[in-house]
A = this chain, B = another copy of it.
Amino acid sequence: MRLTLEDFLPYRLSRLSEAVSDDIRPIYKSAFGLNRPEWRVLVALADIGPATATDLGRHSAQHKTKVSRAVRALELRRWVRRETDPDDRRSEFLTLTSMGQSAYAKLVEPMRTREQTLLERLDPEDRAAFERGLRAMEKAVGVLEVRG
């Protein structure tokens, strides 16, 4: 029995994911010196903020130590503000400051453009197949967030 790396799904996904990641990293890296966990927390906060670190971890698929470090880094930049939850003093509500919002605003457009550029290299049918297949696989693997 054999197994060709080139046809092995986990390998293909990892390779593709890294290539795409390498493609977009320069945008948040060169503009602000962010790393990936920081970029993700920034977006997650814009998505669902104000939110706790635990919420952000779930929404950005990141381990709590990654979130903790990213939040501290963003706090030092004054992009994020903390406020202890009065109802549960273990938790902290995290909010984007106006500086954070403006950095986010500066990044969103080039990021989406780059994503679009990638997708537009596929003809419409391949693109539709990709979107359909990807969502189906996400569902099958159970990575989709439980909504509501």
Contacts and interface: CB of A to CB of B under 8 A. Distances in A.
Count the copies: 2
Interface stretch (A8-16, A64-72, A73-81, A84-92): A8-16
From DSSP, what is the main secondary structure of chain A's interface residues? helix
A129 interface: yes
A97 interface: no
Contacts of A53: none
Contacts of A47: 4-6
A133 B132 contact: yes
B11 A40 contact: yes
A89 B109 CA distance: 51
A14 B8 contact: no
A27 to B, nearest CB: 10
A126 B115 contact: no
Contacts of A108: 1-3
Best-surrounded residue of A5, A24, A44 (most CB of chain B within 10 A): A5
Contacts of A136: 122-123, 126-127, 129-130
Interface of A: 1-6, 8-21, 23-24, 40, 43-44, 46-47, 59-61, 105, 108-109, 111-112, 115, 118-119, 121-123, 126-134, 136-138, 140-143, 145
